[in-house]
């Protein structure tokens, strides 16, 4: 089950975000959200009590032997080519994106949030809904140059 924070009926829509934080006065932004615990940030707007929440992040599915992933720009420096991977921030409920200034520690590999049937799942909440980076898997294999990750997509990586 999921929980969220619906607003009052605004312009015939209800706005919901998970995990919840402080809802803005106009009901379109939730601030003070912690993404570091592995929760998948979700958002939606709808006109009825039947709501579909959409992910505001990318999810990477990889073999369970991979216990950590890191991000590098094309110059080999820790970080992304553009954008940020967030540990805290806000959710824009209107366009299902997250934004903020608190980034992951690029010197520490990101851990999986779930392990199911031989696969590890990594949740990547990124500023603005997209980013480019070289992805390193356990410091042993990496992508051939920067790849683009977009919010709302599941990426399966076969290594």
In DSSP notation, the chain reads -------S-BTTBEEEEES--EEPTTSSEEEEEE-TT----EEEEESSS----EESSEEEEEETT---EEEE-TTS-BS-SBS-BEEEEEEETTTTEEEEEEE--TTSPBPPSEEETTEEEEEE-BBTTEEEEEEEETTTEE-SS-EEEETT-EEEE--
User: What per-residue confidence (pLDDT) applies to 118?
Assistant: 96
Q: What is the pLDDT of residue 8?
A: 56
Q: What pLDDT is attached to residue 2?
A: 41
Mean pLDDT per block of 10 residues along the chain (159 residues) reads 50 82 84 87 86 93 96 92 92 92 92 95 94 95 94 93
């Amino acid at each position: 089950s999921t929980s969220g924070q619906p607003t009052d009926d605004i312009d015939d829509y209800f706005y919901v975000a998970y995990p919840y934080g402080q809802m803005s006065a106009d009901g379109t932004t939730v601030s003070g959200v912690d993404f570091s615990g592995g929760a998948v940030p979700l958002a939606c707007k709808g006109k009825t009590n039947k709501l579909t929440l959409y992910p505001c992040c990318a999810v990477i599915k990889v073999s369970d032997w991979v216990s950590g992933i890191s991000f590098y720009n094309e110059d080999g420096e820790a970080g992304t080519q553009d954008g940020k991977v967030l540990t805290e921030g806000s959710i824009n409920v209107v366009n299902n994106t997250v934004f903020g200034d608190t980034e992951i520690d690029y010197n520490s590999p990101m851990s999986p949030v779930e392990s199911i049937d031989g696969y590890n799942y990594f949740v990547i909440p990124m500023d603005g809904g997209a980013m480019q980076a070289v992805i390193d898997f356990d410091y042993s294999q990496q992508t051939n140059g920067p790849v683009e990750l977009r919010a709302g997509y599941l990426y399966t990586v076969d290594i």
